[in-house]
Structure 1
Amino acid sequence: MLSSAMAIQAYRELKQDGKIGIILNLTPSYPRSQHPADVKASEIADAFFNRSFLDPSVKGEFPAELVAILKEEGYMPVMEEGDLDLIKFNTVDLLGVNYYQPRRVKAKENIPNPDAPFM
């Protein structure tokens, strides 16, 4: 996302007569059931697979729930000063969407730590 924001910034500095965007493969994440664990699993999958790219591209920020999970599990990427501002102020003009199929999601059943956030 940082590279995308840098490309958008560079394009705008050229003052071209055009727009710049991104094409994302977005796959809706539907819960297997309405059980709260399945619903939560689908929300986590959506944050990881869709909104981790969509939100910063369009809104200029990462999904709060994704950031919270990454911090809690010790997987938050290192950010340098100015990175989040660069992303915030260089969102896309256009969004292209590739949609192939939905994703069906269920809560974990048989693993050592059923509360861990990752697949």
Structure 2
Amino acid sequence: MSKPQLPLIGVNSPPCEVTPLVRQPLSTDAATELASIFKALSDPVRLRLLSVVASHAGQQACVCDLSEGFDVSQPTISHHLKVLREAGLLSSERRGSWVYYRIEPAALRQLSHLLDITAPAAVAR
């Protein structure tokens, strides 16, 4: 019996157009999409996992290298990686018996662009 495919938020669909917060308010769709990304990042374990993957060579790491330094079980690490993947921050690829996770640069660029305070501010109305 095969496992059902989980929908990947932000991976299969193009990201919402996001302009820096200092230019204009977020649309409802953009706020909803970004809230799921920020929710995924709001857990300290997930934020550290994202950092560990990003700091590896090529911004990818084997799942076997990710549990060191965490005081949680391997199933918990797998759950957190799944949340990051579903938020579109990581992607994964199975190589033999191991799964490799890599950073999704588009998602990080989207967050960076949103939080860019150097963008020209909106003109006062």
Relative to the length of structure 2, the TM-score reads 0.29
Relative contact order (alpha carbons < 8 A, sep ≥ 6): 1 or 2 greater? 1
Relative to the length of structure 1, the TM-score reads 0.30
